[in-house]
Amino acid sequence: MAQLGVAKFDDLIGRADLLDTRKGIEHWKAKGLDFSRVFYQPEECEDVAPRHVDVQDHGLERALDHVLIEKAKAAIENGEHVSFIQPVRNVNRTVGAMLSGVIAKKHGHDGLADDAVHIQLKGTAGQSFGAFLAKGVTLDLVGDGNDYVG
């Protein structure tokens, strides 16, 4: 970014002019393709914001992982082994990711001992179930997974 003279990621949004389009187009697979619509830069209107238009609420405060973190505290803080059963629904996405983030923050890449946190989830898991799990976290799903089961 510094080589481009850009200080913030926000300043990159919409800056197709900073892309080197020639190198990709010279590739034999891309010969003859017209990318002008992909790299087109419309004029910005002064009264229309190009980014950060809507505040997004992803409902993270209601994430199932908050329950998992609370139930796994003995493992996270004291290295104890914990095991429990938890219902899961298809609206619970990336189950285990926030739990793993807490573990990584405290224990780094080493994580926990194998199977230190063993959770049996019953129901239908939402997208990206078990994605990005830290070492030491085991999720057993009794039911079905939506997509991208990790």
The three-state DSSP-derived secondary structure of 87-125 is: EECCCCCCCCHHHHHHHHHHHHHHCCCCCCEEEEEEEEE
pLDDT of residue 24: 63
CA atoms in the 13 A half-sphere facing the CB of 67: 12
| 77 shares a domain with 136 | yes
| CA distance between the termini of the chain | 32
| 74 shares a domain with 24 | no
pLDDT tens digits, 83-124 = 999 999 999 999 999 999 999 999 999 999 999 999 999 999
Domain-located, residue 150:
no
User: 15-20 contacts: CB < 8 A, separation 24 or more?
Assistant: 16/40, 16/41, 17/41
Our count of domains for the chain comes to 2
Domain-located, residue 110:
yes
| 112 shares a domain with 133 | yes
Mean pLDDT of the chain: 90
Q: Is the dihedral of CA 116, 120, 126, 128 positive or negative?
A: positive
Considering the chain, what percentage of its residues have pLDDT values greater than 70?
A: 98
| 38 shares a domain with 105 | no
Mean pLDDT in residue range 130-150: 93
φ/ψ (deg, to 5) at 143: 145, -140
Domain-located, residue 125:
yes
Query: In whole angstroms, how far apart are CA 75 and each of 21, 63, 88, 100?
Result: 50, 20, 21, 12
CA atoms in the 13 A half-sphere facing the CB of 104: 11
- pTM summary value: 0.69
CB 123 within 8 A of CB 86: no
Residue range(s) defining the domain that contains residue 42: 1-56
Domain-located, residue 44:
yes
Residue type, 22: R
| 124 shares a domain with 103 | yes
Contacts of 70 (CB under 8 A, 6+ apart): none
The residue count of the chain comes to: 150
